[in-house]
Amino acid sequence: MTRKVAIVGSGYMGGGIAQVLALSGAKVALADVSAEVAENNYQRLISESKDFIAEGLFPEGATETLEQNLSAAASVEEAVADADFIEEAVPEVLEIKNDILARISAAAKPDAIIGSNTSTISIGAMSKAVQNPERFLGVHFSNPSPFIPGVEIIPHEGTAEATVNAAREIVHATGKETAVVKDVTGFVLNRLQYALFHEATQLVEEGVADPEDIDTLVRTTFGFRLPFFGPFAIADMAGLDVYNFCYKSLQTDFPERFATPKILSDLVESGKLGTKSGAGFLDVPAERTPELIAYRNKAYVAMQKLLEDLGPAPLH
């Protein structure tokens, strides 16, 4: 059975999410502040898809698929009336989101899943505007949504487990990956992103390096690993005892900023040092280490070749 979806907020983020879902085979209705805005954005998405095909970013036939599966609705109420899944993607203002969510939940089927694409606003705070809030959660795509493969799934305390599972299934049907995180300020993606940015700005302010050199180091060192391995996998491969020692070194000048995480020191004290001991944050068996190193080396060489083929980013 074809899934019916409504996207409320048809701008850059909402439009991209609509493309993703429509290309996965769902029937997607776009809604915005007026029928005219929704129609204009529909036309933009169709036109944009032709450019993406020409650039090799969308598959051949994508425009025809979008024309079949995507449509502009006359109103929010019309878009959501028979939708199985509704994604709210209006501006990041709690009052605006609450107004729209109230309209959505009043007009939608009582069991329709309602997701919000918020990157910063509490899901629990917004759930108060939703009828049957157990069917509401955060479904946070990243910019640009057609091309970034990860999606944060953020239930609030009252979200039903079935809602979480259904939302993940909808996202997985598009080929993207999901991570379920708690409803805390910044969730996970932005807490990590802004922690890195904060430290980078400190280095600039302290005169340690300029922004261009910091970007170069991030791109060409630890950032080079991140498409393949997250911070815990990287730490396990480096050795948690090494990380523990490095924290102590950093503490000579920054005792509070780089206090050793208890979760790290506890693992080291119990002899769990990462892949070399067969136990760490991820408990990768020691016998898989050669296979893991072979994958890592192959991945890094492939990444370097990709970057060479693409050439430098046009930042200058």
Report phi then psi at 199, rounded to 5.
Answer: -65, -35
Please say whether the structural domain 221-310 has been given the CATH code 1.10.1040: yes
With CA atoms as reference, report the closest residue to 17 among 161, 105, 107, 115: 115
Give 221-241 pLDDT, tens digit per residue.
999 999 999 999 999 999 999
Nearest-5° angle of CA 17, CA 18, CA 19? 90
When pLDDT is cut at 50, 70 and 90, the band that residue 1 belongs to is: confident
Please, how many CA atoms are within 13 Å of residue 62, restricted to the half-sphere of its CB? 23
What is the mean pLDDT of the segment spanning 258-281? 96
What is the mean predicted confidence (pLDDT) over 183-211? 97
- Please name the residues in contact with 32: beta carbons below 8 A apart, sequence gap of 6 or more: 8, 9, 10, 11, 38, 41
Instruction: Look at residue 269 in the predicted model and tell me its pLDDT.
Output: 97
Tell me the DSSP string of 157-202. Answer: TT--HHHHHHHHHHHHTTT-EEEE--S-TTTTHHHHHHHHHHHHHH
DSSP alpha helices (H): ranges in the chain? 12-23, 35-54, 62-69, 76-80, 94-107, 123-127, 161-172, 189-205, 211-220, 222-225, 231-238, 240-250, 262-269, 289-310
Q: What is the mean pLDDT of residues 103-115?
A: 97
Q: Is 287 exposed, middle or buried (0-12, 13-18, 19+ CB in 10 A)?
A: exposed
Nearest to 13 by CA among 33, 41, 39: 41
Percent pLDDT > 70 in the chain is 100
| Domain ranges (residues) in the chain | 4-180, 221-310
| CA 40 from centroid of its chain's CA atoms | 27
Q: Which residue has the tokens 């109230």?
A: 102
- What's the whole-number mean pLDDT along residues 106-110? 97
Give the pLDDT score at 316.
84
Those residues whose C-beta lies under 8 Å from the C-beta of residue 218, and which sit 6 or more positions away, are 196, 200
Which are the contacts of 105, defined by CB distance < 8 A and separation ≥ 6? 114, 129, 130, 131, 132, 136
Arithmetic mean of pLDDT over the chain: 97
What is the DSSP secondary-structure string of 26-58?
-EEEEE-SSHHHHHHHHHHHHHHHHHHHHTTSS
Domain at 4-180: CATH architecture: 3-Layer(aba) Sandwich (3.40)
Q: What is the pLDDT of residue 82?
A: 97
Task: State which H helix or E strand residue 88 sits in.
Answer: strand 85-88
The pLDDT score that the predictor gives to residue 143 is: 95
pLDDT recorded at residue 152: 98
Rounded average pLDDT over 286-311: 96
Q: What is the mean pLDDT of residues 67-90?
A: 98
Cβ 156 vs Cβ 167: under 8 Å: no
Say how far apart CA 289 and CA 295 lie, in whole Å.
10
For 262, how many CA atoms within 13 A lie in the half-sphere containing its CB?
Answer: 0
Q: How confident is the model at residue 286 (pLDDT cuts 50, 70, 90)?
A: confident
Angle between helices 35-54 and 62-69 (to 10 degrees): 160
Handedness of CA 242, 245, 251, 252 (dihedral sign): negative
The per-residue pLDDT for range 119-156, each reduced to its tens digit, is 989 999 999 999 999 999 999 999 999 999 999 999 99
pLDDT higher than 90, residue 113: yes
